[in-house]
Structures are given as structure tokens and as C-alpha cells.
């Protein structure tokens, strides 16, 4: 099969989107399972995370910068490091842009229909961005599933293979 450059770029962009969704889901899982108020350096993240689970729309009060500054900092370090080692590429930049907006995409899944821009509604309807129905699964019950907040693609697979519980079991076994 002869792949065009455009096709390869599109495939890479999709894979980078899924990678950003997985990484943001992994961080979300870490926050939910291990971040506790009073912990050094991450106290506020833990407090905000617990508040989000008791009052899911609370974090809608924060602007983009307030809910993404830590991710921006991490991505700035990633980009600077890639530049320093002369390996900076469009893929690293795209991944950084995507993951930097994970909290915003997460916010959209908590907004009412009337609060969203038409483009966001369309992207959620087309199942390109995660919508309220799938994300709502994270906020029901024990809140220990559906950690990926950007797309509807990874959560069903990760839940089917019990990835997060397996990871918790592995860490419990390894750290015991």
C-alpha cells in the first residue's frame, strides 16, 4: 500500500490525540487515587480534585489559565527540552497543544448544552470530543472509571480490559 504524506500526517495526528487523552487520563487517575489534601506540593490540586467530585461544575468557575497553568508549565518544559536536544517536531508541539487543552475539553463535558459553542456541540455530537454522557460515567458510583476526558475512544477499551484496576493492583503489589 502506498501511503501519502497527508495520510501519514492524519494518522499521526489521531494517534497523538489518543496519546494526549491517555496521558491526561493517567494524570486524572493519579489525582483521584493518590492525591490527598495536605500532600506537599500538590495540596491544592488534591483539594480541587475532591471538590470537583462532590460539585462537578465547580471548576467551570475557573478560566482556562487557572485550570491549565500546570499543564502549560509541563509542556513548556517538554518543548524546551526537545528544542535543547534538537528534536523539536510538529508532533511534540501538537501533543503539547492537545494535552494543554485537556482540562478545557473536560469542562465542556460539564457544561449545559446552552453554555457550549456550536463547534463544541458538533464535535461532541460527532463523538470527536468526549460528551457529557460518557464523562458522566466517571462521576457516578465510586468515581473509579472513565478517567480519559478528551475523546470517547479510550475509556471503553481501558474499562473492558480493567486497565486502571490492574494498574492499581500492580502498584500495590510492587510497593508492598
Cα-Cα-Cα-Cα dihedral sign, residues 126, 141, 101, 165: negative
Q: What is the DSSP string of 95-120?
A: HHHHHHTHHHHHHHTTS-GGGS-HHH
**What confidence category does residue 50 fall into, taking pLDDT thresholds of 50, 70 and 90?**
confident
Residue 33, pLDDT score? 84
| Grid coordinates of 72 | 502549560
> How many CA within 13 A on the CB side of residue 61?
8
Over range 145-167, report the average pLDDT: 93
On average, the pLDDT of the chain sits at 90
pLDDT digits (tens, 9 = 90+) for 95-116: 999 999 999 999 999 999 999 9
Residue 166, pLDDT score? 92
Length of the chain: 176
Over range 8-28, report the average pLDDT: 95
Please tell me the distance from the alpha carbon of residue 162 to that of residue 169, in angstroms, as a whole number: 11
Amino acid at each position: 500500500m502506498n501511503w501519502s504524506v497527508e495520510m501519514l500526517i492524519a494518522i499521526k495526528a489521531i494517534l497523538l490525540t489518543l496519546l494526549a487523552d491517555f496521558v491526561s487520563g493517567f494524570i486524572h487517575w493519579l489525582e483521584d487515587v493518590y492525591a490527598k489534601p495536605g500532600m506537599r506540593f500538590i495540596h491544592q490540586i488534591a483539594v480541587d480534585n475532591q471538590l470537583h467530585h462532590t460539585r462537578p461544575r465547580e471548576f467551570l468557575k475557573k478560566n482556562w489559565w487557572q485550570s491549565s497553568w500546570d499543564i502549560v508549565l509541563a509542556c513548556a518544559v517538554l518543548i524546551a527540552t526537545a528544542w535543547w536536544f534538537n528534536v523539536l517536531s510538529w508532533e511534540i508541539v501538537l501533543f503539547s497543544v492537545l494535552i494543554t487543552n485537556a482540562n478545557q475539553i473536560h469542562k465542556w463535558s460539564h457544561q449545559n448544552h446552552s453554555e457550549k459553542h456550536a463547534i463544541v456541540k458538533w464535535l461532541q455530537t460527532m463523538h470527536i470530543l468526549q460528551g457529557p454522557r460518557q464523562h458522566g460515567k466517571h462521576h457516578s458510583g465510586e468515581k473509579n472509571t472513565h478517567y480519559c476526558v478528551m475523546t470517547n475512544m479510550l475509556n471503553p477499551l481501558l474499562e473492558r480490559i480493567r486497565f486502571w484496576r490492574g494498574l492499581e493492583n500492580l502498584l500495590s503489589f510492587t510497593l508492598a
